[in-house]
Amino acid sequence: KRERIYLWIATVMLGIFMMAIIYSTLVLSIRIPSDKGKIIVKPGESLVQSVFQTPPFDHPGLYKRGEKEYELVIVGQAWAFNPADIEIPLNSTVRIKATSLDLQHGFYIASTPVNIMLIPGEITVLEYKFKKAGSYRIICNEYCGMLHHAMTKCAGLP
Ligand code: CUA
């Protein structure tokens, strides 16, 4: 009889985990790196050197790509994001390309579905259209050590 109860508990738990995974991918749309590319670390080079030699990460920043189209190149590191300040014109579609210099970091733009993982050696790409004016908080939501809690900043949309 006991076994049956445990079996039920295990099944219910499994169900909850599955729901959590489905929820996180569909609703929160947490992106993990896809086949969008990798940082190739050459022999005798550090990851940091390789990142800064791999376009577009040799020039982190916000770049205009067309009418209301931008590319945002983000490099995360303990414990900051580069570029530090981002201003995006309203109603622009922004293609975010991101990677990390050291540890696994998060790049979550509060009150948007932009929630990506920055993984060393990997490139994560996500597109999002900013339709609401305001100041958005960018938060690292992957634990990355001592100053993880301080890895946050504001991005403005005038
Ligand atoms: Cu970076 Cu937490």
Residues with a CB atom less than 6 Å from ligand 1: 79, 105, 140, 142-144, 148, 151
Q: What are the residue ranges of helices labelled H in the chain?
A: 2-26, 47-53
Query: Using alpha carbons only, what angle is made at residue 38 by residues 35 and 43, rounded to the nearest 5 degrees?
Result: 150
Query: Residue 149 C-alpha to ligand 1 middle, in angstroms?
Result: 7
Of all helices (H) and strands (E), which one includes residue 107? strand 105-109
Mean pLDDT, the chain, integer: 86
Task: Using DSSP bridges, classify how beta strands 124-130 and 92-100 pair: parallel, antiparallel or unpaired.
Answer: antiparallel
pLDDT, mean of residues 127-134? 93
- For the chain, the domains span 1-29, 32-157
pLDDT at site 158: 39
- What letter represents residue 72's amino acid? L
pLDDT band at 113 (very low <50, low <70, confident <90, very high): very high
Residue nearest to atom 1 of ligand 1 (CA): 105
pLDDT tops 70 at residue 13: yes
Contacts of residue 157, Cβ cutoff 8 Å, sequence gap at least 6: 87, 88, 89, 90, 130, 132, 133, 134, 135, 136
For 35-73, the pLDDT digits (tens) are 567 888 888 889 999 999 999 999 999 999 999 999 999
φ and ψ of 39, to 5 deg: -90, 120
Query: Residue 3 C-alpha to ligand 1 middle, in angstroms?
Result: 42
pLDDT, mean of residues 104-111? 93
Which numbered atom of ligand 1 lies nearest the CA of 104?
Answer: 1
pLDDT, mean of residues 74-80? 92
Which numbered atom of ligand 1 lies nearest the CA of 151?
Answer: 1
Report if pTM > 0.80.
no
Which numbered atom of ligand 1 lies nearest the CA of 143?
Answer: 2
Burial class for 50, CB neighbours closer than 10 Å (0-12, 13-18, 19+)? middle
CATH topology of domain 32-157: Immunoglobulin-like (2.60.40)
Percent of the chain with pLDDT over 70: 87
- What letter represents residue 73's amino acid? V
